[in-house]
Amino acid sequence: MHKPIRVAVVEDDARTLSRLCGAIVREPGFVLAESFSCGLPAIAWLRHHPVDILLTDLGLPDTSGIEVIRACVEHQAQCDIMVITMFGDEKNVLTSIESGAMGYILKGIDEMDVGRAMRDLRAGGSPMTPLIARKVLTRARRSDPSAAAQDGGTQAPAVALTNREAEILNLIARGYTYEEVSKLLSVSLSTVQTHIKNTYGKLAVKSRAEAVYEANRMGLLRSRAF
Amino acid sequence: MRKRTAMRMHIAWILALVNLFLVPAFGMTVIEDAEVIIESSGVPGQPVAIKLPFNWDTAQGGMDGKARVLIRFPADDPRAPLGILFSRLGNAYEARLNGVLLGAKGSGNDPHEDYSKQPQFFKVPEGVLQEKNELAILVHAQGGRRAGVSVPVIGPADEVHRQYEEAYRWRVSGFLALSIVSAVLGVIALLLWLRQREPLYVYYGVGEILWAILVSDTLAQRTLLPWPWWGIVVFSAYALAAALISKFSLIFVDRHAGPMKIFGDWHAWLTVPAVAASFLLRMPLLLSVWLGITLLVCIGTALIAVVEGMKSRELEKRVLAVAVIATCIAATRDMLYFRVFPGFGGVPWVRYAWVAFGVTLAWTIAERLRKSAQAIASMNQDLAQRLAEGEAKLAATYAAQAETQRNQAIVEERQRLTRDMHDGLGSQLLGALQLSQNPEVAREVITAHLREALDHLKLTVDAMQDIEGDIASLLGALRYRLSERLDAAGIRLAWSVDPLPAIGGWTLQQSRDLQMILFEAFSNLLAHSGASNASLRAEYLGREHAIRIRLSDDGKGFNPRSQEGPGGHGLANMRSRTARLGAALDIESSPAGTCVNLLLPLPSA
């Protein structure tokens, strides 16, 4: 029998937290390691308690979810981080990805879909919305020197994508599902997922200062997101 | 003889400081005692003992005539070669030593001739000199032409010849150079005047040219006009040149106004008549008085120029002050030397001092060039600065305008969101609330209602992202939001979205409109069609330069023209949004299915 997957949850909205915790507890193969409604205790706890999956909200009362993500990346390299977001909107998700998150789940999600999302993630399937794919492609184009000149080069760090990665993102941006993409490109679904995951890795901002700057710029550190 | 000479010499020293012709060098004899027989109107008078120099005008006023001057001198060694130098002799003359002709110039009755202006040197031929000698000089004089006999310098031929060369250098070569300089400066100034029309240049230019005429007179032993007309020309040139240079100086120091200007103007206008009268009426005193007035004009100007020059920080005004002072000292000295103590045979200093004006003008022109270059440079700098200021102002205006536009955009966006909330989410929540208050309504219905409201909210959030005219990703995002509900409704959606050209200038409102048109179409598909298969196809039509989006299903269809039933309100909404997009909407519906066609034209490049 496999070792159960340990999950920690950080969410200040009590109902969402209890819903998520309930979903984890009920999901076979998953155990709820700990849950928090504030960021700082979670950061302290994460230093000493290894987990396999961290679910965190971005807007927390005491600190930003970005900080929680950073702390987790720092102390637990093997941990998969998912952001809990109301809308899966490009700004919040992309910033989380840049901080080291590998996926996200929507707040309105059905309980049974929480388990599916977590399993997908453990299996190497990171979610990618069309709008996020489009944004990532825009950044990749910016790494092209000719485009960078037009852009002024002042925006978020550029991303260098392989042709295949760009191809996949392009299809996703146009609304194709992972399955459709794998059929159109005649590759396996897991190959598509691997490419997406690699793209996630490329998006992660390496320096903490950059992440904090990005988060600050978007007002994530002060205000609660939704 | 020596004692009297000493006193005269003293005055000469004070006046002339260095007057080479009166300074006896070692071994030289300066003879002052002489005897003169004046022939006026052809009648010879009685011999009279005089002191040299013999100045005909002083002796005879304005009359023409001739005089025989006898100079007696001893010779210690009659065999030593002897030279005799007259710094002035004429107008025409014939010189004989002990009856032997030493030299002669001019016929004596040609009024064009004047040989008195240049120094004359005679070398005594061998065998002529005796222990006691008589030098007989016949001079022909034209009244007022400063005829006469200067003090002769007698001595060893080599030494006297050296003095002659010295005198020649100062009075002939030097004047030649001066007149050339004056003429050149005058022409340059007049050329400048032609180009710039500044009175400063014309006064200076004419003044210099008159001065060149005056100075070159010394070189001409035969004059262009006969005496006394030539005299009128020369003296008028002198007085006028002084008057014009005075004007030049006054303009130079910005004081060409007031009594000094009026005085100067009168003097200038009356110069030619006064000089002419003095000559034609044979009144040398009038000329002296007039030259005195000229000097007054010059001194008055000089005082103003010096005062202004000292006050001014401009270097060229100081240079002018120095020039004026130098010229006035020289002119005063000359006036005293030639007119008051009628000196004879000296060099007029003023002609050399005059060059200072040339220096002034040259300096001025150089300064003006420098200043104008500087002015241009500073003007350029000023211009660059103003340009920068202008640019900054423009940038500020632009920024303010951009800010205004941004604020306006924010206001518009806020209004749009409010409208969206009101029409979309608000009414959906209200509907859900009303349903929940009705105990007969099933929970699932309320849940579906709330889900729809949440989807609506998510779409609203998506519509807030600037997709930069990328319609394909707008379609993709819509599918992402709706896939759950499509799956739940059991509708299989075939998806085919080509890469589409980005639409320039695409706004959030347009995103929202397109999104809502399609959302409405999907809502109809989900709620009313009963379809199990649907397809969405988006492509770029090159010929129409438009994007076509086609959503079709195999449902039961509806009547698109009906205001009742499925999508009544929704259809009107779709059409108004389509109109706002400038797109074309075509809905075909039959019992075999529905096809919604949207043609979105691209702005022409």
pTM: 0.52
When pLDDT is averaged across residues B282-309 and rounded to a whole number, the result is 86
Query: Is pLDDT above 80 for B4?
Result: no
Return mean pLDDT, chain B.
84
pLDDT in tens, B328-339: 888 888 878 877
Give the number of C-alpha atoms closer than 13 A to the C-alpha of residue B502, restricted to the C-beta side: 12
Query: Is pLDDT above 80 for B1?
Result: no
**Residue-by-residue DSSP string for B221-269:** SB-SS-TTHHHHHHHHHHHHHHHHHHHHHHHHTT---HHHHHHHHHHHH
How far does B579 lie from chain A, in Å, by closest CA? 25
pLDDT in tens, B93-138: 999 998 888 888 888 778 888 888 889 999 988 888 888 888 999 9
Asked whether the beta carbons of A68 and A60 are under 8 A apart, the reply is: yes
pLDDT of residue B217: 86
Chain B residues in contact with A131 by the CB 8 A cut-off are 462, 465, 467, 473, 476-477, 480
Alpha-carbon separation of residue B200 from B63, B189, B318 (angstroms): 41, 9, 17
pLDDT of residue B342: 63
B400-459 residues touching A, CB cutoff 8 A: 451, 454, 457-458
Asked whether the beta carbons of B250 and B307 are under 8 A apart, the reply is: no
Query: Is pLDDT above 60 for B207?
Result: yes
Asked whether the beta carbons of B453 and B425 are under 8 A apart, the reply is: yes
Partner-chain contact A131 B461, CB within 8 Å:
no
pLDDT in tens, B180-189: 989 998 998 8
pLDDT of residue B299: 85
Asked whether the beta carbons of A68 and A39 are under 8 A apart, the reply is: yes
pLDDT in tens, B223-270: 888 888 888 998 899 899 989 988 888 888 888 888 888 888 898 999
Q: Is B476 on the interface with A (CB under 8 A)?
A: yes
Query: CATH top-level class for A130-203?
Result: mainly alpha
Q: Give the strand pairing for B132-141 and B148-149.
A: unpaired
* Helix/strand/coil for B72: strand
- Of A102-111, B101-110, B222-231, B583-592, the least confident: A102-111
pLDDT in tens, B39-54: 876 677 788 888 888 8
Query: Is pLDDT above 50 for B570?
Result: yes
Q: Spell out the alpha helix ranges (H) of B281-354.
A: 284-311, 315-334, 350-353
Chain B residues in contact with A173 by the CB 8 A cut-off are 470, 472-473, 476
Query: Is pLDDT above 70 for B291?
Result: yes
pLDDT of residue B393: 92
- Candidate ranges B11-15, B256-260, B549-553; pick with highest mean pLDDT: B549-553
Alpha-carbon separation of residue B34 from A110, B52, B303, B394 (angstroms): 148, 7, 44, 94
Where residue B343 falls among pLDDT bands split at 50, 70, 90? low
Where residue A218 falls among pLDDT bands split at 50, 70, 90? low
How many Å apart are CA A12 and CA A87, to the nearest integer?
A: 17
pLDDT of residue B281: 86
Q: Give the residue with greater pLDDT, A152 vs B93.
A: B93
Helix (H), strand (E) at residue B593: strand B593-601
How many Å apart are CA B230 and CA B233, to the nearest integer?
A: 5
pLDDT of residue B61: 66
Give the number of C-alpha atoms closer than 13 A to the C-alpha of residue B54, restricted to the C-beta side: 30
**Residue-by-residue DSSP string for B415-449:** HHHHHHIIIIIIHHHHHHHHHHH-TTS-HHHHHHH
When pLDDT is averaged across residues A120-134 and rounded to a whole number, the result is 85
Partner-chain contact B483 A176, CB within 8 Å:
no
Chain B residues in contact with A88 by the CB 8 A cut-off are 458
Hunting for tokens 């529905």 — which residue is that? B594
Chain A residues in contact with B540 by the CB 8 A cut-off are none
Tokens describing residue A153: 């080069």
Chain B residues in contact with A176 by the CB 8 A cut-off are 476, 495, 497
When pLDDT is averaged across residues B29-34 and rounded to a whole number, the result is 83
Where residue A162 falls among pLDDT bands split at 50, 70, 90? confident
Hunting for tokens 């709330």 — which residue is that? B450
When pLDDT is averaged across residues A52-64 and rounded to a whole number, the result is 89
pLDDT of residue B526: 86
Where residue A211 falls among pLDDT bands split at 50, 70, 90? low
pLDDT of residue A184: 93
DSSP state of B171: I
pLDDT of residue B520: 87
Q: What is the distance in angstroms between the CA of the first residue and the CA of the last residue of chain A? A: 40
Other Cβ atoms closer than 10 A to A119: 14
Superfamily of chain region A5-124+204-217: Response regulator (3.40.50.2300)
Chain A / chain B CB contacts < 8 angstroms: 62
Hunting for tokens 């010189």 — which residue is that? B95
Task: Choose from B457, B458, B468, B473 for mutation: most chain A CBs within 10 A.
Answer: B473
Where residue B215 falls among pLDDT bands split at 50, 70, 90? confident
* Helix/strand/coil for A56: strand
Q: What is the distance in angstroms between the CA of the first residue and the CA of the last residue of chain B? A: 115
- Candidate ranges B308-322, B409-423, B454-468, B518-532; pick with highest mean pLDDT: B518-532
When pLDDT is averaged across residues B356-380 and rounded to a whole number, the result is 83
Q: Which amino acid is at B120?
A: Q
Other Cβ atoms closer than 10 A to A157: 16
Partner-chain contact B480 A90, CB within 8 Å:
no
Partner-chain contact B462 A134, CB within 8 Å:
no
Minimum CA–CA partner of A175 in chain B: B476
Task: Choose from A109, A129, A134 for mutation: most chain B CBs within 10 A.
Answer: A134
pLDDT of residue A40: 92
Domain ranges, ordered by start, for chain A? 5-124+204-217, 130-203
Query: Is pLDDT above 90 for B600?
Result: yes
pLDDT of residue A226: 34
pLDDT in tens, B456-507: 888 888 888 888 889 999 999 999 888 888 988 899 999 999 999 988 888 8
Query: Is pLDDT above 50 for B275?
Result: yes
* Helix/strand/coil for B95: strand
When pLDDT is averaged across residues B291-302 and rounded to a whole number, the result is 87
- The proportion of chain B whose per-residue pLDDT surpasses 90, expressed as a percent, equals 21
Where residue B553 falls among pLDDT bands split at 50, 70, 90? very high
Task: Choose from B461, B483, B495, B547 for mutation: most chain A CBs within 10 A.
Answer: B461
